[in-house]
Chains A and B, each alone.
Chain A
């Protein structure tokens, strides 16, 4: 009896190892003849907030898009909670870069949030009051409850970003992937977004963010993944976010003064 329990414990532990929310092996993605991402392995820790950082053009967004199957890789494998991506779509929510959608599209904020429910709604099920009130709740979590009936193009950049975050919340996923959510948004939005992300983490969800602001990494995240075409470092902020790894990822492109500043902040 005792053996059985111990055995099960071992099994759970083994599964915990295998079933990382997002595990990538040997991923290479190339636009034309230059790989944007080359032979990258990544293992995201469950329940953590991970930042993907690296210089411009280092393949951060590409890595995320390949993980989601939006771009197809030249080689490599992706598994989500231990199973192939296609079987796990329902457990992933994605917040794209804002530039990627048509802002002139005839749709209201609330319609965008309801898109997050499309798995539940399927092709033909009708949108009922409970769906709408759930969508409004998601809007409220990002502080956008007063904008439900606006056309999305009428919002400011930061507000648009919050709407997309709310859509991801509506999906009620286990793994959240965000592509530069803080790019070009106002301070209030940045604060609102990070609050929501922290609450997701507290609820046991896994969050992965493509991030470009080195100064806020230590405040916002507990894990980092440094990439410059190849993986440079991966681990907790203390392990992987050091002057040495930054130098290695950014090379000449990061002023020495900046690195000094960050390493001082790190103590």
Chain B
């Protein structure tokens, strides 16, 4: 493939997919260790009602209100889950199940009640996005990277997900120590004055922001996959948190690149005519990586059989 084709058609989807995968995998490491992996699942389901409400309020498909709506819905969901868990003394999994299915149902209902035939807003799009369409038509080749006029035509999803990724990296870097300590030993974290409740909330909000920005570009299914699969696969590779984070980033990038390439060209190699869903393929590849590490990873087995005191 020549650079005249690659840069306009594949470079931006590849970058967006990769940034989204890494932005989700980083907080995913802590969510998996805190046994809150399904928070990502819950968040990605409630993005739909958030976006529909934003559309109803503004009457148009515009990015920022929708992102705000989605982020708002994610925060509402997290607060509701916590409230139902505490008030009703219900285990977190069930509380989560109650909240996200209800909010998703409300989103579907609102969508059906609204006339959205003129705009591109439907459940399928919310689920698996449209990574393939995020092309850079103004580019003519690698030289366009220095061409300000062409750069102005970059899909806006790219800058949003890049900003989000920078934000996520900053958060992880800044709060690395408290995150690590409070994930490992919450009681100890409190005795040295770490506000564990606020920190946990901040982590979930960071994850929600990453999910919403990624969702905008690649749909929600890939979001759940990237929250969980790369960190889970990285768990099988190492017993050190630092190494685990690096592994998860590598796995996330591999899934995004390999998934995109396979979705675009795999069917051609097999004699088919059209590409398949890139988001679905990225999730599938991340699952394959997890399967391989679960079978052969050096640290796949549980250590530290619980000592009863």
- Residues of chain A at the chain B interface (Cβ within 8 Å): 65, 68-70, 86, 89-90, 92-94, 96-108, 111-112, 115, 118-119, 121-124, 151-154, 157, 160, 167, 171, 180, 183-184
Within 8 A of A (CB), among B273-309: 302-309
Residues of B within 8 A of A100 (CB): 185, 187
Residues of A within 8 A of B177 (CB): 115, 118, 121-123
Q: A92-B191, A121-B177 are known contacts. Are A104 and B307 too (CB-CB below 8 A)? A: no
> Is the C-beta of B184 less than 8 angstroms from some C-beta in chain A?
yes
**Cα distance A102–B244 when bound, in Å?**
16
| Inter-subunit contact A94/B188 (CB<8 Å) | yes
Choose among B178, B191, B305, B309 the residue with the greatest number of A CB atoms under 10 Å from its CB. Answer: B191
| Inter-subunit contact B307/A154 (CB<8 Å) | no
Question: Nearest Cβ in chain A — how far from B69, in angstroms?
Answer: 32
| Inter-subunit contact A151/B309 (CB<8 Å) | no
The interface bits of chain B over 168-205 (1 if a CB of A lies within 8 angstroms of the residue's CB, else 0) are: 00000111111011011101101111000000000000
Q: A94-B188, A94-B191 are known contacts. Are A103 and B235 too (CB-CB below 8 A)? A: no
**Cα distance A244–B30 when bound, in Å?**
52
Question: Nearest Cβ in chain B — how far from A182, in angstroms?
Answer: 10
**Cα distance A168–B177 when bound, in Å?**
17
Question: Nearest Cβ in chain B — how far from A86, in angstroms?
Answer: 7
> Is the C-beta of B33 less than 8 angstroms from some C-beta in chain A?
yes
| Inter-subunit contact B188/A103 (CB<8 Å) | no
Total interface residues on B, CB under 8 Å, equals 33
**Cα distance A254–B58 when bound, in Å?**
72
| Inter-subunit contact A99/B239 (CB<8 Å) | no
**Cα distance A213–B262 when bound, in Å?**
64
Residues of A within 8 A of B173 (CB): 124
**Cα distance A118–B178 when bound, in Å?**
8
**Cα distance A186–B308 when bound, in Å?**
14
Query: 6 additional contacts, CB 8 Å, given A89-B193, A104-B304, A118-B177?
Result: A101-B185, A103-B307, A105-B183, A105-B184, A105-B241, A121-B177
Residues of A within 8 A of B183 (CB): 102, 105
| Inter-subunit contact A69/B190 (CB<8 Å) | yes
| Inter-subunit contact B33/A102 (CB<8 Å) | yes
> Is the C-beta of B120 less than 8 angstroms from some C-beta in chain A?
no
> Is the C-beta of B238 less than 8 angstroms from some C-beta in chain A?
yes
**Cα distance A155–B178 when bound, in Å?**
24
Residues of A within 8 A of B191 (CB): 68-70, 89, 92-94
| Inter-subunit contact A98/B184 (CB<8 Å) | no
| Inter-subunit contact A183/B187 (CB<8 Å) | no
Residues of B within 8 A of A160 (CB): 307
| Inter-subunit contact B306/A103 (CB<8 Å) | yes
Residues of A within 8 A of B235 (CB): 106
Residues of B within 8 A of A69 (CB): 190-191
Q: A69-B190, A98-B309 are known contacts. Are A115 and B184 too (CB-CB below 8 A)? A: yes
Residues of B within 8 A of A183 (CB): 309
| Inter-subunit contact A86/B193 (CB<8 Å) | yes
Contact of B174 among A115, A124, A167 (CB under 8 A): A124
Q: A98-B309, A151-B303 are known contacts. Are A108 and B240 too (CB-CB below 8 A)? A: yes
Question: Nearest Cβ in chain A — how far from B169, in angstroms?
Answer: 14
Contact of B184 among A101, A121, A184 (CB under 8 A): A101
A-B CB contact pairs (8 Å), 24 listed: A69-B190, A86-B193, A89-B191, A89-B193, A93-B191, A94-B187, A96-B185, A98-B307, A99-B306, A100-B185, A102-B183, A103-B306, A105-B183, A106-B243, A107-B180, A115-B184, A115-B185, A118-B177, A122-B177, A123-B177, A123-B178, A153-B304, A154-B303, A183-B309
Contact of A106 among B181, B190, B240 (CB under 8 A): B240
Query: Which 9 pairs, one residue from A and one from B, show the smallest C-beta to C-beta distance?
Result: A153-B304, A103-B304, A153-B303, A89-B193, A151-B239, A94-B191, A157-B307, A101-B185, A183-B309
Residues of A within 8 A of B180 (CB): 107, 115
Residues of B within 8 A of A171 (CB): 192
Question: Nearest Cβ in chain B — how far from A11, in angstroms?
Answer: 30
**Cα distance A108–B241 when bound, in Å?**
9
Residues of A within 8 A of B244 (CB): 106
Residues of B within 8 A of A152 (CB): 304
| Inter-subunit contact B241/A107 (CB<8 Å) | yes
| Inter-subunit contact A115/B181 (CB<8 Å) | yes
**Cα distance A107–B245 when bound, in Å?**
12
Residues of A within 8 A of B309 (CB): 97-99, 180, 183-184
